[in-house]
Structure 1
């Protein structure tokens, strides 16, 4: 019995053949089959996901290229006498060239035959024209390579087998633009002229410095807008650092600015005065503050009180004393001179130690009298200039603003004179750009001597003017940077936003990103300046101004800089330009979107 049972047991566990049927019947075979099926599903899902990603990327790139082509083709219509015959054919070729310039051939294996691109125009220049562009192409799919094209599926496309799964996907894009018969454009370029603009935008140094790229791009934008026949466009220029220079654009004797200098009025003057070695007003102004010292994100008006005050780079309020020592080791005091206002002379060569020590301390004072017989002495003028000729090279030594004009030559000349120097306070530039678009600052409203200097005293036009576009383009290569807070004359205490002599940024109507009120802000805090900037941007947009915001260069790729500028821009009007070439392309895209063109879908 025992033997029989043993033999039966052995027969029961006798191995069988390892065919497919056996694998399915056995436990380990079932697991193998399940893994195989799961792996197939996973690979198939990955292929499908990649197809989806490729489709989305291709469609987005196609739509972007078509948008640029539509705007460019709309602007191009002004070069043709009609929209039929050879003029229409040549215009359609131009439209396709604009599209091809922004859509690389074979992008993600996209194939688009010539007959799949369409460009049409309807209407008349007098009543308005509608431009419509469309494009369609096909891109290969990965999923059919894995699944095969004979399996059941859904979608559009063509397959090499008899099944329903497509092996290509159709990608389409379309849009339309309205070309209005007439509009008045008032555009202000608010452009960063700070020291970092002297750097290269990217590692490709062949494109030149950022300031060189900005000059080129801005000049091309001016030429394209003001070069269109029959246009009604005006462009202004507002270069900025921590200050904006409005000398020559606004009258220094107007009531918009009071010559009373409350901080330290002694030995300061609006006009040059050789008797006290004063350089006069350099063209920069300080933002108005109310009786409590509060700042507001306002364009103000020349009739408003409080008025602006002239910018002076002055000595401390309590005055400054220069002590002269003899050359002995005892450091005997030979005289003192008190200064209650600028200018002040300082040594630019020689040792800072004029004699030995006094009361245990080394006598070294940059602002004292030097020990050497013939030192180099430089005069500090009230505008912050550090030379003896009065040439502008200090905080207010910035290319002056140019009021709205149709003179492309004058604008281009001013643009090409822009230089890179100084620190950055973006809201200062924005505020003056806003004033250049506010009718309160026109000669007709402000009165003689108070408004912008222009042969047309109705500029800027009233905000209710029919078909008026008011646009500001603000560009910076980084975030706000008021400069060092140390030194006898710290930069945060001497700029057009904070005032003269203190670094308080008190704006109770605004809040920081964390929700706290800006009642105790500081010009040394980038966060606080950013909050004030966003308050200015919001106020401008609420006043009906379209704001385009651009960050420029690799150094402007930080999250904070881009986030602030994106929030500053009108919806959809923020751009980042990593290189000079990118900036030029963006300016051209904006130029195509201004004037008489509007994307409608």
Structure 2
């Protein structure tokens, strides 16, 4: 007898219900996988875009366009509507006195299958923080203090730019571990400071008459031209320096002397044995306030001309380990050895004109004012030709640049409103790389160059 099995309508309904109950969690699990994968991709791209934006903002931390740069880099790295996401704006916050920059953002995605179980959207968020981490450094600012810096607000722009650099480097800190900064104001000579008379030959000051000057010898020295040590780092033990002494003559008649700052930084009417001698070198300092005070004390000292090669040479002597322990008023262990681990040696060199022997009208004796090379007609550079002498000064500067770079010194050079192509080429060749040379035709461009250098010296690192 045959047996048949009959499935009734009641049993079929039960199976359908069971299938539906099983299908719902399966769809939810599938939806979770699809939507979670999209959310993961959006969050990863969001994080990458914020990293790029934070680094871009950190490089211009103190510039007015910082926030615009952050948003531009963010949008460039995360296109609108990426994978259907609605991307919010970037939140930007600086902290710790400019030492950190944090950027955050979020995005909302419409779910597909997850919407079936009551989850119509999913939100993802990310953030990035950059810290400015300065390496150890010995930094020298070699700044033009010649009389031409008086015009068009140049001296004020240079001082403001130098202050910007220091402020970017230090942030709100007074000291940074293993960071020292020094300043070399130069004209046609350099002032080593009257406290360093031991670097002169015995009796050198007594042999020259400074009685007309209330301050005596101010501290400027002549160049060691005959031996070629005018632009080397040879210390005084190798060759001493002769004191700068502008003789009384038709172009500088005294007594009485007028070597006041008020007279000598506002025109060519100063006179005295220290005529044309700028403020003294500030040796390596750890404290930000001391460097800022030295920057503020700079001024456009008139007469003599411009000898950027001598400013550079003294910048080298502040970095050379051959001068360790010779500079008073600084840490006796400085300068450190070249290529000390985690330490950089850096020079920023600025000029607003050509290297030259200036001759104050009407023409003075021997073809020029007195400089660290004496007068042009004295022939201390092996010539009395103005053109040849200028070329030799440029050649000695170029040789010093190469010698410093060979020791691992990083050179940043700036020409400030300099139309002379030869001088621009000289400073470009002196720089460590093309990117470390700045041709700044305006006051605004000069300040931007200083800020860019300061930001470059303040290394950025990402931290989440």
Deviation at 1:586, TM superposition (A): 1.3
Name the CA shift for 1:344/1:580 in 2 (closer, same or farther; >3 Å).
closer
Q: Of 454, 471, 474, which residue of structure 1 is paired with 2:349?
A: 474
Measured in 2, the distance between the counterparts of 1:491 and 1:442 equals 39
Residues 1:408 and 2:393 are matched in the alignment: no
Are the structure 2 counterparts of residues 307 and 597 from structure 1 closer, same or farther at C-alpha, using a change threshold of 3 Å?
Answer: farther
Q: TM-score, with normalisation over the residues of structure 2?
A: 0.64
Structure 2 gaps, min length 5: 1-50, 91-101, 103-129
Taking the aligned partners of 1:235 and 1:548, their CA distance within structure 2 comes to 15
Give CA deviations for 1:454-484 in whole Å, capped at 9, x if unaligned.
2411122222421110010111112212202
In the TM superposition, 1:252-401 aligns within 5 A as 252-254=196-198, 256-261=199-204, 268-269=208-209, 273=211, 280-290=216-226, 294-295=228-229, 297-304=231-238, 306-314=239-247, 345=254, 378-379=256-257, 394-396=275-277, 398-401=278-281
Q: Helix, strand or coil: the match of 2:139?
A: strand
1:392: how far off?
A: 8.9
Task: Find 1:527's aligned residue among 372, 388, 391.
Answer: 391
Aligned ranges for residues 96-495 of structure 1 at < 5 Å? 97-98=68-69, 113=79, 183-200=135-152, 209-227=153-171, 230-247=176-193, 251-254=195-198, 256-261=199-204, 268-269=208-209, 273=211, 280-290=216-226, 294-295=228-229, 297-304=231-238, 306-314=239-247, 345=254, 378-379=256-257, 394-396=275-277, 398-422=278-302, 423-443=305-325, 451-484=326-359, 487-490=363-366, 492=368, 494-495=370-371
Distance 2:147 2:268 in 1: 19
Superposed CA offset, 1:305-337 (max 9, x none): x31111111258xxx9xxxxxxxxxxxxxxxxx
Quickly say closer, same or farther: Cα 1:414–1:228, change in 2 above 3 A.
Answer: same
Q: 1:557 to 1:227 in 2, by over 3 A?
A: same
8 Å contact 2:159–2:295 — kept in the other structure?
A: yes
Equivalent residue of 1:436, what SS? Answer: helix
* TM-score, length of structure 1 as denominator length: 0.50
Aligned equivalents of 1:390 and 1:315: distance in 2?
8
1:2-41 mapped onto 2 (5 Å cutoff):
none
Q: Does 1:558 find its partner at 2:438?
A: no
Per-residue CA deviation, residues 185-219 of structure 1 (Å, 9 max, x unaligned), is 1111111111221222xxxxxxxx11111111111
| Alignment match, 1:596 | 459
Counterpart of 1:169? none
Give deviations 1:341-368, integer Å, cap 9, x for gaps.
xx9647xxxxxxxxxxxxxxxxxxxxxx
Q: Which runs of 5+ in 1 are unaligned?
A: 1-65, 80-93, 120-130, 132-177, 201-208, 321-342, 347-377, 444-450, 507-518
Mark the CA change 1:223 to 1:578 in structure 2 (over 3 Å): closer, same or farther: same
Match of 2:431 in 1: 569
Q: Name the structure 2 match of 1:42.
A: none
RMSD: 4.5
Residues 379-436 of structure 1 deviation map (CA, whole Å, 9 limit, x = unaligned): 488xx9899999997211x122211112222222221222113321110111111111
Rounded Cα–Cα distance in structure 1 between residues aligned with 2:245 and 2:68: 54
Secondary structure class of the residue paired with 1:550: strand
SS at match of 2:357: coil
Call closer, same or farther: CA 1:480–1:401 in 2, change over 3 Å: same
**Higher helix proportion, which one?**
2
Distance 1:488 1:115, change over 3 A: farther
Offset, 1:234: 1.3
Contact 2:376 2:384 (C-alpha < 8 Å) held by counterparts: no
- The 1-side partners of 2:406 and 2:214 are apart by 42
Other-structure match for 1:539: 403
Q: How far does the alpha carbon of each residue in 1:20-58 deviate from its partner, in whole angstroms, 9 at most, with x for none?
A: xxxxxxxxxxxxxxxxxxxxxxxxxxxxxxxxxxxxxxx
Contact kept? 2:193, 2:218, Cα under 8 Å: yes
Residues 435 and 115 of structure 1, relative CA distance in 2, 3 Å threshold: farther
For the residues of structure 1 that align with 2:320 and 2:81, how far apart are their CA atoms? Answer: 49
CA shift, 1:582, in A, is 1.5
CA distance in 1, matches of 2:312, 2:440: 20
Rounded to whole Å, the distance in 1 between the matches of 2:427 and 2:81 is 41
Does the residue aligned with 2:306 lie in a helix, a strand or coil?
Answer: coil
